A and B are shown apart, each in its own frame.
Chain A
Amino acid sequence: MRRHIISILIENEAGALSRVAGLFSARAYNIESLTVAPTEDPTLSRMTIVTVGTERIIEQIIKQLNKLIDVVKLSDLSEGAHIEREMMLVKVKAATMSQRDDVKRLSDIFRGNIIDVTPSTYTIELTGSATKIDSFIEALAEHKILETVRSGVSGIARGDKILHV
């Protein structure tokens, strides 16, 4: 079982997302995260799916995705060098001086930005790999996390390799 990041260029049509999501549920494939948004070409959407499976299952997932009529191109980023980023917004209780100091320090260590402040909370924006985001949540263990919002993973290949029509 290995984690794979699959990047998809898909026709920007109504229902395209449900075709992909439906495929994963109908065939009982795992889906860790899914992000989708239009690209610089408004007729195309770029989707990033993080999934976990054996080589055999991943091979089937890729084949089944390719079989969807709306899918134009796809690539398994995990096959080569790539960059992944995820953004998280996290609201943490920061009421006392020591809580505020500690949360600020942790945020700085992880290169997060505090983007909203109230007398009792800090809201931090953090970008990084999914592992880094997980680590930050772990680091906050002593504090009370009120809310987390994660964008899901976006990924891109390193170097000259591109996914383009």
Chain B
Amino acid sequence: MELSGAEILVRCLKDEGVEFLFGYPGGSVLHIYDALYQQDDIKHILVRHEQAATHAADGYARATGKPGVVLVTSGPGATNAVTGIATAYMDSIPMVVITGQVPSAVIGSDAFQEVDAVGITRPCVKHNFLVKDVTKLAETIKKAFYVASTGRPGPVVIDVPKDITDPAIKVPYHYPDKITMRSYQPTVKGHSGQIKRAVDLVLIAKKPMIYTGGGVVLGNASEELRTFVRHLGYPITTTLMGLGSYPASDEQFIGMLGMHGTYEANMAMHDCDVLIAIGARFDDRVTGKIAEFCPDAQIIHIDIDPSSISKTITVDIPIVGDVATVLQEMNHLLVTGKKQPQKKALEAWWTVINGWRAQQCMSFDRNSDKIKPQAVVELVHEITNGDAYVTSDVGQHQMWAAQYYGFEKPNRWINSGGLGTMGFGLPAAMGVQLAFPDDVVICITGEGSIQMCIQELSTCLQYGLPVKIVALNNRYLGMVRQWQEFFYKERYSHSYMESLPDFVKLAESYGHVGIRIDDPKALRAELERGFAMKDRLVFFDIVTDQTENVYPMIAQGKAHNEMHMSPHSNCELPQSPDRELS
């Protein structure tokens, strides 16, 4: 079978099992768009800005575990996609981005809509390719999917010059079933000796702590994690990226850790004697002050990426491997071995932890005459039975969503954790809704973030995506305002949002439903009314308390036991309560 480059490209995507292609046409990809027009296996989703194409593909990937696929044109098409590529890179999301390029003959001549896409994206991709020969196109696409979705996943860019997709040049088509690369062979199985040592250390712990991250979600290891945690009876915390990998309602789950983690999770981190880090990368938002991170702990670290190990925190027992595979082996050793966890010590440890829990660090004012953002998230959880897909943007609303939604399942919490990309939430929700048309998909956002990709309301109308947008509108760039309050003596420099649009009218003008809520008493009824509209996009513009802050908070560069606490918690000392308790 002889096909043109454009036909090969589309055919490869089909053979790879791609359902959706998020893209935007332009000069350099016109041949490809012509080939897309003549088939109906792959559904192309026309976004309104290339950034949204990458975020939508990213959201799709996070919810399904399958790589998201993007097609954009050369020049501005490629540069607009960069933010989304970097977002996926920071959170290790599998994605294949095809960028058009000017014809090979004019590359380097500053041609119209020419940028060095391979050069620009190099620092924020797992790998990238420039296709120089149409006979190598199919193999390159296969490699791209293979690299993107194996090992530690990540985005891969394929830059395709226009002449490569020329409809007049036909070459034989063959899509390889398998590919091997001598330079890329990711480790799957962990070192057995290390795993044995780790299990031995786990079992002598007196104050153990399990700290898990996005690697558990990406590695599809929630089942194995649950078996591990329940067998041991140890406390578990997750990072922002790991939420949902262990059920939030479980007694052993002591909340998220880090800058806005719970009091009990951060204190337990500080005091533990054995830390079991699983698919987490000791990010600065998690560790706080490196010198005082888990000062008394021996650390076990399971990660698929060798470069994550001992990058910021030196660990005692590193295990490089796929999280699910390693946990299976550990579970097997735990079940078949004779040794049991230190029961007495563990009971004492839980008593201490439950003492921290009693501080009720997540309390907030429930009698306010203003709408509290935390209450909104709690209500949204209740109305959706905690079973929705929740995307978010970046800022205070993101933290409240993470803290108060209570994720029970993996792949349900979709946010830009690493790069912190405002504008991510709405397009990501589109990708999720396309993958799961019958599920409830919510975008929890703020009035600042939502305006960064607001144009996608149009895409949502075109494809009938009934996303529920919950905008916590406090007329401030809330997280910036909070830092200015705490660390800049309340000098609120450019954090106030003036001249906001009427979001209800805006939603309506895009053909959707807008609901404005400013009375706490009306909150439940209005949310229920909006969520009942199953087949409509509803934009909830919720006027919330402007002064509310995210608590607890560890200031940048401080240790886990130096938290600012909410005035509504039972904690009397706002800082360094550690000394009082221990």
Residues of the A chain whose Cβ atoms lie less than 8 Å from the Cβ of B184: 69
Is B310 positioned at the interface, with any CB of A under 8 Å from its CB? Answer: yes
Q: Which residue of A lies closest to B307 (CB)?
A: A63
Is A111 positioned at the interface, with any CB of B under 8 Å from its CB? Answer: no
Residues of the B chain whose Cβ atoms lie less than 8 Å from the Cβ of A10: 183
In whole Å, how far is A21's beta carbon from the nearest beta carbon of chain B? 10
| Pair B310/A56 contact, Cβ less than 8 Å | yes
Q: What are 25 sample pairs from A and B whose C-beta atoms fall under 8 A apart?
A: A10-B183, A11-B183, A14-B130, A15-B118, A15-B130, A18-B122, A19-B122, A22-B123, A26-B123, A56-B310, A56-B314, A60-B311, A63-B306, A63-B307, A64-B307, A66-B307, A67-B306, A69-B126, A69-B147, A69-B181, A69-B184, A70-B127, A70-B183, A72-B182, A165-B182
Residues of the B chain whose Cβ atoms lie less than 8 Å from the Cβ of A26: 123
Residues of the B chain whose Cβ atoms lie less than 8 Å from the Cβ of A14: 130
In whole Å, how far is B116's beta carbon from the nearest beta carbon of chain A? 10
| Pair A60/B307 contact, Cβ less than 8 Å | yes
Query: Which range contains the number of B residues in contact with the other chain?
Result: 10 to 19
Residues of the B chain whose Cβ atoms lie less than 8 Å from the Cβ of A71: 183
Q: Which residue of B lies closest to A16 (CB)?
A: B183
Partner of A22, one of B122, B147, B182, B314: B122
User: How many angstroms from the CA of A51 to the CA of B130 in the assembled complex?
Assistant: 30
Residues of the B chain whose Cβ atoms lie less than 8 Å from the Cβ of A134: none
Per-residue CB proximity of A44-81 to B under 8 Å, as 1/0? 00000000000010011001101101111000000000
A19-B122, A64-B307, A69-B181 given. 11 additional CB < 8 A pairs?
A15-B118, A15-B130, A18-B122, A56-B310, A60-B311, A63-B309, A67-B306, A70-B127, A70-B183, A72-B182, A165-B182
Q: SS class of chain A's interface: helix, strand, loop or mixed?
A: helix
| Pair B307/A72 contact, Cβ less than 8 Å | no
Residues of the B chain whose Cβ atoms lie less than 8 Å from the Cβ of A69: 126-127, 147, 181, 183-184
Residues of the B chain whose Cβ atoms lie less than 8 Å from the Cβ of A70: 127, 183
Is B501 positioned at the interface, with any CB of A under 8 Å from its CB? Answer: no
Q: Which residues of A contact B (CB under 8 A)?
A: 10-11, 14-15, 18-19, 22, 26, 56, 59-60, 63-64, 66-67, 69-72, 165
Residues of the B chain whose Cβ atoms lie less than 8 Å from the Cβ of A64: 307
| Pair A72/B130 contact, Cβ less than 8 Å | no
Residues of the B chain whose Cβ atoms lie less than 8 Å from the Cβ of A66: 306-307
Q: Which residue of B lies closest to A60 (CB)?
A: B311
Is B193 positioned at the interface, with any CB of A under 8 Å from its CB? Answer: no
In whole Å, how far is A36's beta carbon from the nearest beta carbon of chain B? 16
Residues of the A chain whose Cβ atoms lie less than 8 Å from the Cβ of B118: 15
| Pair B130/A67 contact, Cβ less than 8 Å | no
Is B305 positioned at the interface, with any CB of A under 8 Å from its CB? Answer: yes
Q: Which residue of B lies closest to A61 (CB)?
A: B307
Residues of the A chain whose Cβ atoms lie less than 8 Å from the Cβ of B182: 72, 165
| Pair B307/A67 contact, Cβ less than 8 Å | yes
Per-residue CB proximity of B122-141 to A under 8 Å, as 1/0? 11001100100000000000
